[in-house]
Amino acid sequence: MSLFRGVFFFYFGKGIDFAGLSKDILKAFFMGFRYDLTVVSEMSALITLTVVVLMFVDKKEILIKFLSVAKWYYAFFASLIFVFLCVDFGFYSYFQNHINILIFGFFEDDTKALISTIYENYNVFLIFSGFILIFVLTFAISKKILQGHIFKNFSVLEKNLKPEPIHIRNYSPNIALKISIAIFLLAFNFLCARGTIRNVPLEVDDADVSQNMFINKVAINGFFTFMAAITARNRESKGIDLVTTSGFKDARQAFADFFEKNIDEIPENPQNVLINKTSFNQTIEEIKPNVILIVMESFGSDLLKYNSEQFNLLVELKKHFDQDFVFYNYLPGGGGTMVSLETIALNLARRPISMVLSQSQFAYKKYPFSAPTPYNKNNYETAFIYGGGIGWRNAGVFMSNVGFQKVIGAGSMNPEYPRNQWGVYDEHLLDFVFNYLNQGGKSKFILVMTTTNHPPYSIPKDYQNLPLDVPPELENRLLDKDLGNKRFVVYQYANNAVGNFITRIKNSKFADNTIIALTGDHNFWGLFEFPTQDFFNSQKVPFYIYVPKKICPKNVNVSVFGSHPDIMPTLYNLSLSDVEYMSMGINLLSQDAENNIAFNGGDLIADKTCVVRYNFLGKNASYFLWDKNTRSKLIHWQTPTENHKRLIKHFIAQNAVVDYLLKNTGTNATEKNNTR
């Protein structure tokens, strides 16, 4: 396990400056050894306990049989640890984190597609071979030890496990010695399993040994984060009340803290504070614009800073980014696709330590603040169009209950559209969207989710990529150059596809009556590690908006901070006139956005003054200030400022508000036959 940690450090730590951090690295490996020792000790606990019992039973035949079983026990669990470490390694390569609650998505997602993707992207044969090798070696070593002379003083083993016992000197320790040995063995195993002599056993938070976030990730192992995920899952399944857990006796106080109001300003039905109204706009009344919101798979913005003619990542999308509005200080709703879709579709922030809503009891509720509600009330046709199968993550049922009048998946698209395991390639998905828009009838609000920029990173055979000469500063950070080159082509393809779609809209009859918004579900991960000062950049995605000239606002400040719950309020105010809506987010085009707080559903809160990384379960935080020289890098800060405290207060209240809204404002939804 320590060897694996070394491999982890040198593989994922490539390109990170560790100058002056040698002591922290040593701390991380020592702390990691303690974590590993805890895992091994827990594995050995059953063996230790059994040995102690058999020592007092003093039946050599039973002990011989037990030791025979013990060889298989150790061999199996040692091999299982190896496989688990490989899984954690692969999980980290995609999510930039050790195993967490997202691991349950293996069974809740498209499991068949996931297995196919894993087979194509990871050397499963090598992992299986490692399992066999570890099994054989551990079995051989265990057999050698358990049949050796180490137990001769107990006179209980038989040579080579044959029926005849070994003829050695009889020795029977007295009861006092047996008790002493038993106490020592149990105490030593117990201490190692706890990992510490403190009152509280070793926990995930103890991995915080450095200001460098990657070094802290080196310290922890996936077993501990997996157990934390199970704990979170169990809490969620038991119906944890985040209002009381967050310290609020009255839900109205949570709303007051979140909206930075006095509690007297919060109505008895606190959800009513979410009600807003768009201003009257005669031009919008006349145009009644279509709204197309595209959520792109893995469309992170940090990589875009490397874009150039030689390393052409944006392709056709670049001219639109240059012409229209792009918000870069922007965070996704969470670290997974469906999590981010939920924050957009429901107009809510993401609750921490919670299940995917589409696969929970909340998928069968109808909420007044859902994204399509204002459009439905104003005679729009609303649709969710997904490039994959609508059975994915129960998306068909969830999006229908959210309020989309039509939910369309790959199964109802042209069967000749080329596709991979996850769905129709982006250019063909967007061709379907254009044709759907071209059907006429009512104005449309369409939420689109793409799939192509996702493992196994395949594209149509006829796509000819433009230059992708990786710049040296990026190449030096790459963990796997071959994988990087493959992923850059897919990233370019996806950007070019959506860029061509926007061009097609602008060159069509829809140019003057269609708003297009574009964002990513989460960042582009898995190719390089982000140093601590890039923590915010490691999560962010862009938010792009094209608005027809007749209704296009002026003097827009695109440097404000925002996140996915701010999308719909912004689009409502661009497309609807004199219409009420409910939302936790704000209109990014308004003056209120100047001091807006952005948040990622995991543990990140940020505004223009500072950034906080907050562990909701552990109730602890890491504090950062913006580097005034770069305005995009972070400086670790020891003592929280008033602005840091504001962000934490906002985040804690946010979790309570979301929990209250989900549990107290929904009505049972009747699933309609509007999915295909």
Write down the CATH superfamily of domain 251-668: Alkaline Phosphatase, subunit A (3.40.720.10)
Q: In angstroms, rounded to a whole number, what is the distance separating the alpha carbons of residues 381 and 445?
A: 6
- pLDDT of 674 reads 53
The pLDDT confidence band at residue 143, using thresholds 50, 70 and 90, is confident
Question: How buried is 272 (Cβ within 10 angstroms: 0-12 exposed, 13-18 middle, 19+ buried)?
Answer: exposed
Quick: pLDDT tens for 495-543: 999 999 999 999 999 999 999 999 999 998 878 888 888 889 999 999 9
Instruction: Quote the tokens at residue 515.
Output: 């708003």
Quick: pLDDT tens for 32-45: 999 999 999 999 99
- Rounded to an integer, the average pLDDT of 606-634 is 87
Neighbours of 347 (CB within 10 A): 29
Q: In angstroms, rounded to a whole number, what is the distance separating the alpha carbons of residues 39 and 28?
A: 17
Identify which of 518, 501, 509 has the alpha carbon closest to the alpha carbon of residue 440: 509
Domain ranges of the chain: 2-236, 251-668
- pLDDT of 63 reads 77
Quick: pLDDT tens for 66-87: 878 888 998 999 999 998 999 8
Strand, helix or coil at 652? helix
Q: In angstroms, rounded to a whole number, what is the distance separating the alpha carbons of residues 495 and 91?
A: 25
pLDDT at 160 > cutoff 90: no
With a pLDDT cut of 70, the percent of the chain lying above it is: 91
One-letter amino acid for residue 211 of the chain: Q
- For the entire predicted model, the pTM comes to 0.80
Is residue 90 within 8 Å of 122, Cβ to Cβ?
yes
Instruction: For residue 510, give Cα distances in angstroms to 287, 316, 434, 474, 515.
Output: 11, 19, 10, 39, 9
- Rounded to an integer, the average pLDDT of 247-259 is 95
Q: How many CA atoms lie within 13 A of 526 on its CB side?
A: 29
Q: How many CA atoms lie within 13 A of 286 on its CB side?
A: 6
- pLDDT of 150 reads 45
